A and B are shown apart, each in its own frame.
Chain A
Amino acid sequence: MSLNILVVDDSAVTRAMILKSLRVAGLPLGEVHEAANGKEGLEQLEKHWLDLVLVDINMPVMNGEEMIEKMRQNPLWADIPIVVVSTEGSQVRIERLQRKGAKFVHKPFSPETIREVIQQITGIQLQTAEADHGPDF
C-alpha cells in the first residue's frame, strides 16, 4: 500500500526537507503533491485523491488553520489525516488544531518524529533503521 500525500508549506526548502524525511522514514509514497499555501492546498485536494496532508500554519494567502477548517467542513476531505508541521509554540493553538483531529510536529523536526506521528495517524507500520539515527530537519 502506498500513500498519496500533499505537503503544504510556503517554503520550498521545508517541503523538500519534509519529503526527504518521509523517504528516510520508509513511508511508502505514492503520488506526491505540493502547495505553497492553504488556497493552493485546497485546489490540490480538488484535483487528487489524497491519503495524508502535511501542512504548515504560518503561510500567505490562506494559512494552515483556515485550510484545516475548510477540509473538516467538506465531507469529501473531513476524514483525511492531517499532520501540522509548524513552528507554532502556543499550547492553546496546538490544542485547537488537535481538537480538529490534526497531529502536531514541531519544527525543527527529525525523521523519527515524522515517522512516529504518521504511524499514529495512519496506523501503518514503517520499518527503517536509518530513521532511528536521522538528523533534525
Chain B
Amino acid sequence: MNNTTKDIVRKVVKDVLERFAFMFVDEPDGSEKADWSDDILHAVISFNGEFRGRLSITAPVSFCTEVTANVLGIDPEENAGEMACDALRELINIICGELVVALYGNKPIFNLSIPTLDRIDSDRCRTLSADPNHLQFSADGTPILVGLSITE
C-alpha cells in the first residue's frame, strides 16, 4: 500500500465510522502497543472490476457490539453475538463501497464479494499489525486493523 492509498484508506475509514457508527477514530502513534486480548473477529471482502483487491477489518467483538448498539440506538447488553458479526460485515461492505469510489472514481463497475468472517487469535493480530498493508486505528479507544491489498 503506497502513501497515497494509505491516506485514502484513512479518510474513508474515519469518515464511515463517524457517519455510520458515530465513533471517533484516530491513529495511535507507533509506540503504543494495542491490547488484542479480547475475542477478535476478522472480516474480509474482495472487489473485482478494473482492478482487483481485498479489504480486511480486524476488530474485537466488543467493537462490533458497540457498532451495533450505536447504529440501532440500543443498549450494548441487548446485542446478540450474531448481530455484532452482522454489523462488522455491513461495516466492511460500506467501507469497501466507499473505498473503490475514492480510489478509482464513480465510472468503473466493481463487484463486491459477500463478506466473510473468522475468529482469530491475538498472535495473528500482532502479525497483521506488523504487516505494511495494514493500518491500525483506535475507534472510541478500541484498536482495529484495516488491511488492503490490490492486484493491478
Within 8 Å CB of B98, what residues of A? Answer: 87, 89
Within 8 Å CB of A16, what residues of B? Answer: 72
- Using known A-B contacts A11-B86, A87-B98, determine if residue A17 contacts B72 with beta carbons closer than 8 Å: yes
Within 8 Å CB of B24, what residues of A? Answer: none
Which secondary structure dominates chain B's binding surface? helix
Q: Indicate if the CB atoms of B19 and A108 lie closer than 8 Å.
A: yes
Q: Indicate if the CB atoms of A14 and B90 lie closer than 8 Å.
A: yes
Q: How far is the CA of A16 from the CA of B67 in the complex (A)?
A: 13
Determine if A117 is an interface residue (Cβ-Cβ < 8 Å): no
Please give me the residue from chain A that is nearest to B68 by CB atom: A13
Interface-facing stretch out of A67-75, A76-84, A90-98, A123-131: A90-98
Determine if B83 is an interface residue (Cβ-Cβ < 8 Å): yes
Within 8 Å CB of B68, what residues of A? Answer: 13
Q: Indicate if the CB atoms of A91 and B114 lie closer than 8 Å.
A: no
Question: Number of B interface residues, CB 8 Å?
Answer: 29
Determine if B107 is an interface residue (Cβ-Cβ < 8 Å): yes
A-B contact count (CB 8 A): 64
Q: Indicate if the CB atoms of B97 and A89 lie closer than 8 Å.
A: yes
Determine if B16 is an interface residue (Cβ-Cβ < 8 Å): yes
Chain A interface size range: 20 to 34
Determine if B109 is an interface residue (Cβ-Cβ < 8 Å): yes
Within 8 Å CB of A136, what residues of B? Answer: 19-20
Within 8 Å CB of A34, what residues of B? Answer: none
Q: Indicate if the CB atoms of A11 and B109 lie closer than 8 Å.
A: no
Q: Indicate if the CB atoms of B97 and A107 lie closer than 8 Å.
A: yes
Q: Indicate if the CB atoms of A90 and B106 lie closer than 8 Å.
A: yes
0 or 1 for each of A52-71: is its CB under 8 Å from B? (1 = yes): 00000011100000000000
Q: Which residues of B come within 8 Å of A, CB atoms? A: 16, 19-20, 22, 68, 71-73, 82-83, 86-87, 89-90, 93-94, 96-98, 100-101, 106-112, 114
9 shortest interchain CB distances as A-B pairs = A87-B97, A89-B101, A108-B20, A11-B90, A90-B109, A136-B19, A91-B106, A13-B87, A13-B86
15 contacts between A and B (CB under 8 A): A10-B114, A13-B68, A20-B72, A58-B111, A59-B114, A87-B93, A87-B112, A89-B98, A89-B100, A89-B110, A91-B106, A92-B108, A107-B97, A108-B94, A135-B22
